[in-house]
Amino acid sequence: MRRLMVLPIVAVVFINSSCSQDKYRLADEIVVPKPAELMAAQKDRLYQLAGYNKNLLVYQLDLRQKDKRGYNSAEAAVKLYYDENKKKVVDTTTIKRQGRNVHRFLQTNDLTLYHGFYQVPSNCENKIIDDLDRGKYLQDYQDFWIELNGKGKKIKSVPEHYLDIDVYYNVCYTGDCMVMTDFVSEYLRSTIADSIITVYSVQNGDVTTKEIACVECVSPQIVKEQLFYGQKFYYLEGCDDYDWKVYRAPNFDLSKSELLGEYIEPLLVSPDGKYILGKKYFQGKAVAVILDVEAKKFDYLLGREYLRYGYFYSPAYKKFAFDTESHIIYINYPQEFPFNSIGEDAENKFTTDSEDAAFWGKYKYPELSDF
């Protein structure tokens, strides 16, 4: 199996000699060091992938200043556009505006979905989001608004308490729709809760909504009029132990949902709907997997703790990728998917600590710092 590592000047191909003859194998990855100008822009900031615009990656950069507790600020301040092919920063744009605080934004081409405070009271106009008092502003409500062709429109305000509720949201790859669902927070994720999935369609600046009731659903994503989502199931009735199944529903009709995988939580669907990046419990830890939708088969991404990093779909490489502090790791699709995503292959198997340690010692890449 080949593993390609891309360096700034020369590409070096390594032959992985540690592959065994069984079905487990190291992920086929392309490791690209970040250029100095991108590293400099991200230094001393919180940052995350926020989408893409015409094949350029879009990063969210937060304020450089510290909050009142001495931590890096959680307020979004800058859009940074990065060309993966040329490995250079193309542009940076400030999104700071008096009286409006942004916690997070997502962008697909000309459509940007913002999450934060659309308009704070006049006495707080000069405060950053970290300084808004908990219980008065920061945890009592949150706004969502879109910006399209320079025009903004608020689409939703919801109450929020950091222990009770959270909101999942994403922008469709087509850049003309968004999906949002309210659900109990990660803190209370094991409780029973119904979800309302709201689909927002944007046409000529007008926004229309469609609501879909779904019991205990997560990570809804739309690809070509198909709704992909995860749904909780319990190992035994009346117990708190649960896992996830992955479904696809044509034309948003949940009654026609097709089971794609078991014991896998969906994270991200590829723009063509052929592959799903997911999370699965395996050998004592949470592991990233790639699921082939039509074949209903999957493969583990072994070699690193990929889920520690920000994940995204690369418009330039057309692959799932992971953003680390110093590198971007692109994952080549497996040439074959050896495990069935439904049935015995997918079930979680019990393993001991010693078995886990032996397994991960065998399937491990060098640290990125060693490159």
**What one-character-per-residue DSSP string does 88-102 give?**
EEEEEEE--BTTBEE
Single out the residue of 230, 325, 237 nearest to residue 276, CA to CA.
230
pLDDT tens digits for range 316-358: 999 999 999 999 999 999 999 999 999 999 999 999 999 999 9
Ordered per-residue pLDDT tens for the chain, 371 residues? 444 444 443 333 333 433 444 799 999 999 999 999 999 999 999 999 999 998 999 999 999 988 878 889 999 999 999 999 999 999 999 999 888 999 999 999 999 999 998 988 888 888 888 887 666 655 567 899 999 888 889 999 887 665 566 788 999 999 999 999 876 655 545 555 567 889 999 988 889 999 998 888 889 999 988 999 999 888 777 666 788 999 999 999 999 999 999 999 999 999 999 999 999 999 999 999 999 999 999 999 999 999 999 999 999 999 999 999 999 999 999 999 999 999 999 999 999 999 999 999 999 999 987 55
The number of beta carbons lying within 10 Å of the beta carbon of residue 15 is 8
Q: With beta carbons less than 8 A apart as the criterion, state whether 270 and 276 touch.
A: yes
Long-range contacts of 252-257 (CB under 8 A, 24+ apart): 252/199, 252/210, 252/212, 252/225, 252/227, 254/212, 254/214, 254/227
pLDDT tens digits for range 56-114: 999 999 999 888 788 899 999 999 999 999 999 999 999 998 889 999 999 999 999 99
The tokens of 238 are what? 């009346």
The tokens of 228 are what? 């992909």
Domains of the chain by residue range: 1-30+220-371
Average pLDDT of the chain?
Answer: 87
Strands lying side by side in the sheet with 206-215: 166-171, 177-183, 194-203, 206-215
CA gap 159, 179 in Å, rounded: 18
Q: With beta carbons less than 8 A apart as the criterion, state whether 268 and 253 touch.
A: no
Strand partners, 154: 145
For tokens 């060091």, name the residue: 33
